[in-house]
Structure 1
């Protein structure tokens, strides 16, 4: 099969590596891709928001199957456009992608179908929202309803902080994404990520992970898209995984089907493991980044074959198998991230890091300037290691990170701390 992969980040490099390894893959094109995805096929420099351009590329390259990496094209209806053009694609329809595209949509679904989640209220009026905040007290969580590139959630420690978040979001700081806010109770527990592959009617678990959102060691500093991750998540025991499938994933699939918008693709449940059991924080409708960089290297099952089965509605024939090894990834980001960053700084030593046993350096925000690798974004590299334990994977990943010479970058030095404490 000729495959088109849409996206340009570390998740897409991890997907490109896994897809190219499939016996089903004849040729892989990634649009727009990055220097990492180019190692596994060819890149096509098109605007993936232009659905007509994507369809034209599929026809020109005789593409048999499209895999969509990031959320924005899914929420914008790329799968619907491809399907209408007779092109097979993996991912949810625009209607089903509302599970990520609208936090209010997901909260209402959870309420309707009895899915455990935080108590909430929705607002488009700032005065009413602030009255609710004062009534509920802090800590409290304020979320922009729409996609906000990781900037739409404020966990407010004080009423004043929550009111400021309401004022900013409803005042237009996030554009259309903040036209409505969802205000939630602040759940207490340990966060974890649970992934499920879905075909509209069936779901199979697709691994667990925990990531580190804050920019600096000790979970300090601003929230980011993720500074590192590890898999599996020790907090999600087999019994808890079964509970998540039973109380969260399956009711979601049933509810979406009942509403006439069946969900096909990867359902990524952000969870809080509370004293009352697992509760849904939010859904994403694709693999996480950097979670993909630790889940895909652990998969023994052919991911492309599993995606094709999901798209064809025959996921009940698929069984996912895993390596016994753990994986840990450390994100190297440009100084200043998640704020403004300078592009173009030179990166050396990636080949040396990649040569190490069971280490892969995934490209996220990189570019080539002639033969030289340079930074081209906020999160730039994800250095992933596999080992029998998370502690060993942690040591191996950091050894590889230290082999990379990039003075303009920074990274956290404590990725995997919680997991190592669990195992200790």
Structure 2
């Protein structure tokens, strides 16, 4: 380890992870020559990463060792603030940016304070109260859990009935199955348009150009059919100039500078001919967004993240064209069912027929030269592709997927297809 640190530019990097989602990033920085230590907070996920990167059981004992500390999820903002005040280079959130993501009402209030359009939404603490609201104000709504429940992505529901009758049926079902344990949730008016997100890195003073435009594919099956999963894959590109950035993220620059934020911020939006309507913040790495972004970033990630945390980086180097990525999942994804996972997926081998280029480890461990599925939810790998056109990027990604053998694996076959139609609309509305 000591010899490694003597290499020019090599850093000691401590990765503090909530679920182990950032394994691919930690492994990439290890391969760049940095000394890594990887901590996972969630106990059932702690086997993730064994054999790939050195693991630690208590991250706080290694703070003095680290040249750079990276927090990969929300909830660590207050800790990150204290470490920055003590002089440590930290990449991650702040107490303020954590609240932007975790408290949906606060996020909407901040959007309004920055003179950004918002979609009407209401917070509820009981299902009966929400049902009465929909019956009194019939419309199409989106049900968005808040607090810890929002981590269960399959509970998010996008209503299609213009009178909200499908939402009422869902709320009654949730009341029977969850009762008071569901916690608070939000009903947001459904607005039709193109779903798109704009994101960028922030160095404590300003956003780094270029900016990232992402199109998420959240449903389990192609053509947006089935249960919400959080995400099955994304397509994206980088741009130095974006009307969407100017109308949303850019307005938060002064507030983020006051908070000394040094990390990554994403705003997911619905856009149409009437304007931009932000839906929610992600004030951390997005998953799988960061892995697909990495496919488009043409410089070492350790050097980039250290520069952002230290406040010395003002730009980043990216590819022209498009990047796409798709998860290969196994049972019980997107659900958490230990019995099913143990029966069908635990310790299953990921087999590569043409090498591992563009293959990003997710919930895996490495034993010898074999990648084995671990954790408890069933995300095996994320496969990426790049190209000057969206079709080129898709072709590369799906060729790579075809060379990966994962027993009982499944993935979406249409990641990036939306671009053909969405791009025409975005051009006509002036967002590209």
- Structure 2 stretches of 5 or more lacking a match? 1-10, 41-45, 425-432
Out of 46, 54, 66, which is 1:43 matched to? 54
CA distance in structure 1 between the partners assigned to 2:212 and 2:321 by the alignment = 13
**Cα distance per residue 1:64-106 (max 9 Å; x no partner):** 11111223x436x341454466643111222331111111110
Q: Contact 1:5–1:30 (CA<8 Å) still a contact in 2?
A: yes
Please give the residue correspondences for 1:120-139 in structure 2 after superposition, counting only pairs within 5 Å: 120-139=121-140
Secondary structure at 2:76's aligned position in 1? helix
Q: Which residue of 2 aligns with 1:143?
A: 144
Q: Which residue of 2 aligns with 1:50?
A: none
- CA RMSD after TM alignment: 3.2
Deviation of the 1:107 alpha carbon: 0.9
Q: Which residue of 2 aligns with 1:247?
A: 247
CA distance in structure 2 between the partners assigned to 1:252 and 1:65 by the alignment = 25
Deviation of the 1:360 alpha carbon: 1.6
Q: Contact 2:126–2:180 (CA<8 Å) still a contact in 1?
A: no
Out of 351, 355, 362, which is 1:349 matched to? 351
Change (3 A) 1:189 1:202: same
Query: Under a length normalisation based on structure 2, what TM-score does the superposition of the two structures give?
Result: 0.80
Deviation of the 1:140 alpha carbon: 0.6
Out of 186, 194, 197, which is 1:193 matched to? 197
Change (3 A) 1:265 1:88: same
Q: Contact 2:80–2:94 (CA<8 Å) still a contact in 1?
A: yes
- With 384-393 and 260-269 compared, the bigger mean Cα shift is at 260-269
Q: Contact 2:264–2:285 (CA<8 Å) still a contact in 1?
A: yes
Q: Contact 2:71–2:93 (CA<8 Å) still a contact in 1?
A: no
Deviation of the 1:164 alpha carbon: 4.6
Deviation of the 1:266 alpha carbon: 0.7
CA distance in structure 2 between the partners assigned to 1:105 and 1:422 by the alignment = 30
Change (3 A) 1:37 1:399: farther
Secondary structure at 1:409's aligned position in 2? coil
Q: Contact 2:323–2:390 (CA<8 Å) still a contact in 1?
A: yes
Please give the residue correspondences for 1:236-385 in structure 2 after superposition, counting only pairs within 5 Å: 241=242, 243-255=243-255, 261=259, 263-314=261-312, 318-339=314-335, 340=337, 341-342=340-341, 343-350=345-352, 352-355=353-356, 359-368=357-366, 372-376=370-374, 377-385=377-385
Is residue 221 of structure 1 aligned with residue 265 of structure 2?
A: no
Q: Which residue of 2 aligns with 1:27?
A: 35
Please give the residue correspondences for 1:44-123 in structure 2 after superposition, counting only pairs within 5 Å: 44-46=55-57, 53-59=58-64, 62-71=65-74, 73-74=75-76, 77-80=78-81, 82-83=83-84, 87-123=88-124
Q: Contact 2:155–2:228 (CA<8 Å) still a contact in 1?
A: no
Secondary structure at 2:22's aligned position in 1? helix
Secondary structure at 1:412's aligned position in 2? coil
Secondary structure at 1:251's aligned position in 2? helix
CA distance in structure 2 between the partners assigned to 1:170 and 1:80 by the alignment = 38
Secondary structure at 2:288's aligned position in 1? coil
Change (3 A) 1:155 1:108: same
Q: Which residue of 2 aligns with 1:398?
A: 398
**Cα distance per residue 1:26-54 (max 9 Å; x no partner):** 41222248776854xx32142xxxxxx21
Query: Under a length normalisation based on structure 1, what TM-score does the superposition of the two structures give?
Result: 0.82
CA distance in structure 2 between the partners assigned to 1:327 and 1:199 by the alignment = 24
Deviation of the 1:261 alpha carbon: 4.4
- With 269-278 and 9-18 compared, the bigger mean Cα shift is at 9-18
Secondary structure at 2:382's aligned position in 1? strand
Deviation of the 1:226 alpha carbon: 1.3
- Structure 1 stretches of 5 or more lacking a match? 47-52
Change (3 A) 1:334 1:223: same
Change (3 A) 1:302 1:26: closer
Corresponding pairs, count: 396
Deviation of the 1:8 alpha carbon: 7.5
